[in-house]
């Protein structure tokens, strides 16, 4: 059986009637073998989808018929099953959550993967390479020599940018920044410019695009993604593991969400240790109750709403 396409795209442009576009998208997806999530706001689109190759081709052709999407990049990876469990198309006030309003016109210079690689290779001491993703993302993979700030959520970036602006010479420092698919850099590079940085470069299409075009050169580890795959190689030549099981120390980069519903923390564990802990991050979580049933055949998987069977199981405990 053919692999599924996992599609990632985003676009910023004024959307007059986002609610109407939500309806159109829903209809198109519902009629085909497609899953995933699309968020639409007055300022644009953010989409991650999985689809059979036929549906994927149809979708991209349909989107490209709309002149607003003519130049939008649709990045495609493959996976053996749907990494999403359903279709979610929703209106959102912001397609990337950040509390601060930034002027998106400022945006940093987009650098294509090949040029990005060359820039990495000729990097001087006035250049800083920053990974703008969260700590659990950069932990399993990042570019060689990148500064990986200890951010737990997207919302902490503005504060980090303030600290950088104090620490570095904003006029002469070259800032190279990257994220998963590029969308966060659209916002964060604008923010860096507002903080006074004059030379800001962002990896066009993010690490996904880099992996597709340049392989894993200068990349260490793997790529965290926000779907059932959780951690994926960025290219065929990429199988490096940077992290270890928190319990037994064996080399491993599988993430689990703690099975105790009120904890839900991400942790890295091998399957054996996760089985022993019944999917919990700690002994105390295991003891405290309200623990989702742990199914090793479906692990590791990100947390999502309980299935009917899981609810019944919990009701019985
Ligand atoms: Zn282990
Ligand atoms: Zn826990």
Reported as a single tens digit per residue, the pLDDT across 112-162 is 999 999 999 999 999 999 999 999 999 999 999 999 999 998 889 999 999
| pLDDT reported for residue 251 | 96
DSSP character string of 216-251: TTTEEE-EE-SSTT-EE-SSTT------B-TTT--B
Q: How far is the CA of 270 from the centre of ligand 1 (A)?
A: 4
Question: Is 225 part of a structural domain of the chain?
Answer: no
Ligand 1 center to residue 215 CA distance, Å?
A: 29
pLDDT in tens, 65-103: 999 999 999 999 999 999 998 999 999 998 887 778 888
Q: Name the β-bridge partners of 47.
A: 9, 38
All residues with CB under 5 Å from ion ligand 2: 258, 260, 263, 281, 285
Instruction: Give the total number of structural domains in the chain.
Output: 3
Helix (H) or strand (E) holding 49: strand 44-51
Q: Domain range for residue 57? A: 4-91
Residue 259 CA to ligand 1 centre (angstroms)? 16
In a 3-state reduction of DSSP, which class is residue 180? coil
Q: Looking at 179, 258, 270, 273, which residue is catalytic? A: 179
List residues, by chain if needed, whose CB lies under 5 Å from ion ligand 1.
Answer: 245, 247-248, 270, 273
CA distance 244 to 140: 10
- Model pLDDT, residue 179: 97
- Which ligand is located closest to the Cα atom of residue 284? 2
> Tokens representing 186?
């659209």
Q: Which ligand is nearest to the CA of 246?
A: 1
pLDDT at res. 316: 47
Residue 100 placed within a domain: no
Number of other CB atoms surrounding residue 36 within 10 Å: 22
| Ligand 2 centroid – CA 263 distance (Å) | 5
Q: What DSSP designation does 31 have?
A: T
Report how far apart, in Å, the C-alpha atoms of 217 and of each of 96, 175, 238, 300, 302 are: 29, 20, 9, 27, 28
Ligand nearest to the CA of 265: 2
* Residue 249 covered by a domain: no
Residue where a domain stops, chosen among 91, 117, 145: 91
The CATH number for 160's domain is 3.40.250.10
Give me ligand 2 centre to Cα 311, in Å: 19
| Domain presence at residue 21 | yes
DSSP H or E run through 274: helix 271-276
In a domain? residue 232: no
179 belongs to the catalytic site: yes
pTM: 0.90
Look at residue 99 and tell me if it is in a domain.
no
What is the domain-level CATH number for residue 82?
3.30.70.100
Tokens coding 24: 């159109």
Instruction: Give me the residues of the chain with pLDDT under 50, please.
Output: 306-307, 310, 316-317
Which tokens sit at 255? 């993430």
- What is the chain's Cα-based Rg? 20
């Amino acid at each position: 059986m053919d692999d599924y396409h996992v599609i990632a795209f985003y676009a910023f442009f004024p959307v007059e009637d986002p609610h109407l576009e939500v309806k159109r998208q829903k209809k198109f997806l519902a009629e085909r073998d497609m899953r995933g999530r699309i968020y639409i706001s007055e300022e644009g689109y953010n989409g991650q989808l999985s689809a059979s190759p036929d549906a994927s081709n149809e979708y991209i052709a349909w989107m490209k018929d709309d002149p607003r999407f003519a130049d939008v990049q649709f990045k495609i990876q493959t996976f053996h099953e749907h990494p999403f469990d359903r279709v979610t198309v929703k209106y959102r006030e912001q397609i990337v959550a950040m509390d601060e309003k930034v002027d998106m016109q400022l945006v940093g210079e987009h650098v294509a993967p090949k040029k990005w690689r060359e820039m990495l290779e000729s990097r001087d001491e006035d250049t800083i390479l920053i990974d703008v993703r969260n700590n659990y993302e950069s932990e399993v993979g990042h570019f060689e020599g990148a500064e990986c700030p200890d951010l737990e959520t997207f919302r902490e970036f503005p504060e980090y940018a303030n600290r950088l602006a104090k620490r570095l010479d904003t006029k002469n420092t070259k800032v190279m920044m990257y994220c998963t698919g590029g969308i966060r850099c659209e916002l964060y590079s604008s923010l860096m410019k507002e903080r006074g940085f004059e030379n800001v470069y962002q990896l066009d299409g993010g690490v996904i695009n880099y992996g597709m075009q340049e392989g894993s050169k200068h990349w260490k580890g793997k790529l965290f993604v926000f779907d059932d795959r959780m951690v994926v190689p960025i290219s065929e030549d990429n199988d490096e593991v940077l992290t270890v099981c928190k319990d037994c120390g064996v080399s491993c980069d599988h993430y689990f969400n703690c099975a105790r519903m009120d904890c839900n923390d991400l942790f890295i564990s091998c399957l054996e240790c996760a089985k022993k802990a019944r999917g919990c991050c700690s002994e105390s979580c295991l003891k405290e109750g309200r623990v989702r049933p742990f199914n090793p055949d479906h692990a590791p998987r990100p947390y999502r709403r309980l299935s009917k069977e899981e609810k019944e199981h919990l009701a019985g405990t």
